[in-house]
Copies of this chain bind each other. A is one copy, B any other.
Amino acid sequence: MRQLYHFWLSPFSRKVRLVLAEKKLDFELVAEPVWERREEFLRLNPAGQVPVLQEEDGTIIADSTVICEYIDEVHNDAPLMGSTPVERAEIRRLVAWFDGKFNTEVTDNLLGEKYLKRYFAKGSTPDTGCLRAGRVNVGHHLDYLGWLFERRKWLAGDHLTMADIAAAAQISVIDYMGDIKWARHERAKEWYMRIKSRPSMREILADRQVGFPPSSHYADLDFE
């Protein structure tokens, strides 16, 4: 069976889980304690990071974007990367936006301070400056997402693509923590309701991290 080494609240792991689910590919999740830097895991990925995909034939693919492009190339019946170089460029630009800019400006500040710090730097409290920055920044990102969605059916055009998946992977983590004021972002909310109702999101919405419960509306398909 195909295996995905992951970490529950990692948006990058979620991105790959969503792609595998969209493609209806079976896989087994292996929760990897990356902080232990297990030798066996470092042999799979010298970068020491999740996600890592191990195919049934032993092929190892590391890095979420690399895995997603690989899956889409090998299982290309419902393409998530568009059909022309210019379409792909727009999809990849938005993937880089959410994986890079959103992750640095929002997720690192909120997940980093509220969860990772608590777990890995026991006794230390979240930096309120980081929390404030993360909450302000998420608003700007949702405004941009809403602006795109006003002009398109999905974020990169007429179809669901890797851009929507990268965005959902990040946003679902922030929404798990209850850090989004949806009432202020009607357009972005419409987009999130649309992607939340896809079967590929079911497993993600069922995630529960022990000792760190989700916001009350996290799994609701309609929410405030």
A65 is contacted by which of B46, B92, B144 (Cβ under 8 Å)?
B92
Contact A101 B47 (CB under 8 A): yes
Contact stretch, chosen from A68-76, A112-120, A175-183, A189-197: A68-76
- Across-interface contacts of A86 in B (CB, < 8 A): 59, 70
Q: Judge whether A29 is part of the interface by a CB distance below 8 angstroms.
A: no
Residues 92-123 of A, flagged 1 when their CB comes within 8 A of B and 0 if not, give 11001100010000000000000000000000
A96 is contacted by which of B59, B66, B70 (Cβ under 8 Å)?
B66
- Across-interface contacts of A63 in B (CB, < 8 A): 92-93, 96
> Measured between alpha carbons, how far is A65 from B97 in the docked complex, in Å?
12
Q: Judge whether A88 is part of the interface by a CB distance below 8 angstroms.
A: yes
Closest B residue to A55 by CB, please name it. Answer: B86
Contact B85 A74 (CB under 8 A): yes
Residues 24-68 of A, flagged 1 when their CB comes within 8 A of B and 0 if not, give 000000000000000000000011000000000001011101110
